[in-house]
């Protein structure tokens, strides 16, 4: 207990005495002396107790302070010991590093000394070898001179005779070796080739159906025929003008025949008719609108067909333009054989044959699928280029590998074959085309004749569209009314007929019909 507390306690005690004294004095004056004495005794006891409590509290605080000091001192000593230990460890590491560095320096000095000794020894030996080499060259020259004197020939002449004799001997051995290998190859190559080709053909199964130039459009009742024909035949004329397809409406029950050599135009006409009949609104304006939408749908379908084909064959990373060309193959034919079916078949054959020969089957499939992309040209100018060369140029343009490009360009021997992939593509193309029922030469020539017939009309200015119909017996030409007058339309019909008669060979007659249509369109707002 500190001094202030003691003072406060003393003051409190004195006040208590005074108060008690006053009270006692006021209550009992008679007992004053007794109360004073008792109060004095009680105050002394209180003071004594207060002093003893103060002393005990003081000793307790001093003891706590000593314990806290000892605890802080112990912690400080621990920190100092830890720091001393770390400093000792750091000093030890430094001494170890210094020792290691000194050892390395001593080793380096020894190595340098050893290297210098070896360099000196090497220089000495090199000098010795040079001297021996000079002595050997002198001895060799003297021997050559002695041999020239003895043989009567110079060194160059002797060398030439030796080389010639070795050449003749090596040539004879090489020819004998080559002849043996060739004979051995002749005995086994043909047999192995037949085995590989037969196994490949047996493992690939394909359909033998051939596309034709006619599609049948089924209808629910014959009443629909009248709606398709329209008043005075205006609907059927509008469909034929928009699609370039000849529509044959005859007595065949619940069927209309669509005739056209171009399968794309035929498919557009079939889908357009289906939409018109389903919708029920059939008139010239609606027909043109539906045909345009169907053309866009066919273009999208071409892309989807290309993607499905590529995925089915497991070919990856093909350029989008090449995928689009693969899709167009569905609507092209080669000698009556569907071009997409033919290309898929060739790709599968190439993959099997390449695997049998230990080559890359994926690359072979890629080349087999793309080998005929030149048969789907975008422009009329491309028709004059051989399809193999055109396909090779497109493949190079769209980043195909040189092996694939060479296989495409060389499968009809237009260019030289530079890889083993090229003859495989050529063989598989021949296998697919030579299958019984796969191709018909007559159909291909017929389609080419119709294309040439349309190309003649496009050679005249002002021609907007040209369609060969009636199996090539009629050429329907649609001209631009702004560029061609009525009089010019009549003379244009005569000029086209004379051009066909002069330049083309065809059976029967070709009727040339020139159509000039004038439209006036205004919009009321």
Mean pLDDT of 301-325: 88
Identify whether the C-beta of residue 22 lies closer than 8 Å to the C-beta of residue 78: no
Q: How far is CA 288 from CA 179, 241, 254, 268, 283, in A?
A: 72, 9, 24, 12, 9
What number of other Cβ atoms are within 10 A of residue 170's Cβ? 10
Rounded-to-integer distance, Cα 387 and Cα 342, Å: 15
Rounded-to-integer distance, Cα 27 and Cα 62, Å: 47
Rounded to two decimals, the pTM is 0.48
CATH code for the part of the protein at 216-434: 1.10.3210
In the prediction, which pLDDT does 209 show?
Answer: 43
Percent of the chain past pLDDT 70, that is, above it, reads 82
Rounded-to-integer distance, Cα 392 and Cα 374, Å: 8
Give the list of residues 6+ apart from residue 515 with CB closer than 8 angstroms, or none.
Answer: 241, 476, 477, 478, 479
In the prediction, which pLDDT does 210 show?
Answer: 45
In the prediction, which pLDDT does 178 show?
Answer: 72
- For the domain with range 445-517, which CATH number is right: 3.30.300.30, 3.40.50.2000, 2.40.50.140, 3.40.50.1820? 3.30.300.30
List own/partner pairs for 188-196 with CB under 8 A and 24 or more apart: 196/353, 196/356, 196/357
In the prediction, which pLDDT does 359 show?
Answer: 86
Rounded-to-integer distance, Cα 127 and Cα 121, Å: 10
272 vs 208, residue with greater confidence: 272
Mean pLDDT of 257-278: 83
Placement of tokens 């004379």 in the chain: 498
pLDDT (tens digit per residue) in 326-380: 888 887 776 667 788 888 888 988 988 888 888 888 898 998 888 888 888 665 5
Q: Of the given ranges (29-33, 410-414, 440-444), which has the lowest mean pLDDT?
A: 440-444
Rounded-to-integer distance, Cα 461 and Cα 480, Å: 9
Domain parsing of the chain, residue ranges: 216-434, 445-517
């Amino acid at each position: 207990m500190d001094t202030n507390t003691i003072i406060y306690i003393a003051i409190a005690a004195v006040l208590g005495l005074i108060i008690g004294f006053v009270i006692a004095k006021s209550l009992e004056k008679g007992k004053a002396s007794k109360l004073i004495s008792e109060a004095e005794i009680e105050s002394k006891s209180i003071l004594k107790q207060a002093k003893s409590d103060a002393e005990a509290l003081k000793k307790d605080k001093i003891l706590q302070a000593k314990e806290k000091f000892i605890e802080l001192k112990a912690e400080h000593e621990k920190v100092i010991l830890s720091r001393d230990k770390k400093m000792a460890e750091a000093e030890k590491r430094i001494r170890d590093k210094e020792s290691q560095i000194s050892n390395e320096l001593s080793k380096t000095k020894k190595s340098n000394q050893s290297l210098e000794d070896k360099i000196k020894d090497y220089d000495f030996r090199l000098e010795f070898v040079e001297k021996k080499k000079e002595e050997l060259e002198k001895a060799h020259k003297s021997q050559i001179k002695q041999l020239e004197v003895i043989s009567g020939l110079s060194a160059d002449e002797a060398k030439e005779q030796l080389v010639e004799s070795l050449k003749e001997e090596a040539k004879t051995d090489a020819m004998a070796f080559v002849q043996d290998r060739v004979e051995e190859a002749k005995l086994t190559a043909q047999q192995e080739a037949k085995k590989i080709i037969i196994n490949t053909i047996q493992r690939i199964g394909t359909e033998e159906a051939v596309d034709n130039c006619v599609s049948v459009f089924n209808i629910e009742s014959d009443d629909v025929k009248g709606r398709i024909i329209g008043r005075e035949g205006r609907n059927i004329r509008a469909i034929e003008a928009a699609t370039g397809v000849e529509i044959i409406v005859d007595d065949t029950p619940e069927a209309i025949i669509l005739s056209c050599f171009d399968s794309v135009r035929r498919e557009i006409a079939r889908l357009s008719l289906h939409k018109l009949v389903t919708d029920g609104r059939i008139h010239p304006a609606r027909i043109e609108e539906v045909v345009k939408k169907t053309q866009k749908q066919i273009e999208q379908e071409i892309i989807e067909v290309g993607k499905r084909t590529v995925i089915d064959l497991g070919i990856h990373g093909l350029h989008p333009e090449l995928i689009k060309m693969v899709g167009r193959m569905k609507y092209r034919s080669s000698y009556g054989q569907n071009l997409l079916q033919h290309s898929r078949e060739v790709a599968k054959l190439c993959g099997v044959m390449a695997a049998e020969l230990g080559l890359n089957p994926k690359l072979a499939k890629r080349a087999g699928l793309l080998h005929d992309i030149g048969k789907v040209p975008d422009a009329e100018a491309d028709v004059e280029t051989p399809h193999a060369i055109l396909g090779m140029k497109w493949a190079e343009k769209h980043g195909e590998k040189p092996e694939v490009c060479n296989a495409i360009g060389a499968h009809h021997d237009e260019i030289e074959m530079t890889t083993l992939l090229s003859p495989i593509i050529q063989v598989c193309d021949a296998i697919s085309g030579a299958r019984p029922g796969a191709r018909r030469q007559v159909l291909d020539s017929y389609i080419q004749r119709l294309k040439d017939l349309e190309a003649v009309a496009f050679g005249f200015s002002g021609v907007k569209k040209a369609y060969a119909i009636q199996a090539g017996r009629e050429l329907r030409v649609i001209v631009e009314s702004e560029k061609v007058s009525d009089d010019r339309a009549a003379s244009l019909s005569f000029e086209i007929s004379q051009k066909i008669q002069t330049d083309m060979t065809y059976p029967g007659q070709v009727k040339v019909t020139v159509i000039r249509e004038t439209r006036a369109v205004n919009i009321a707002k």
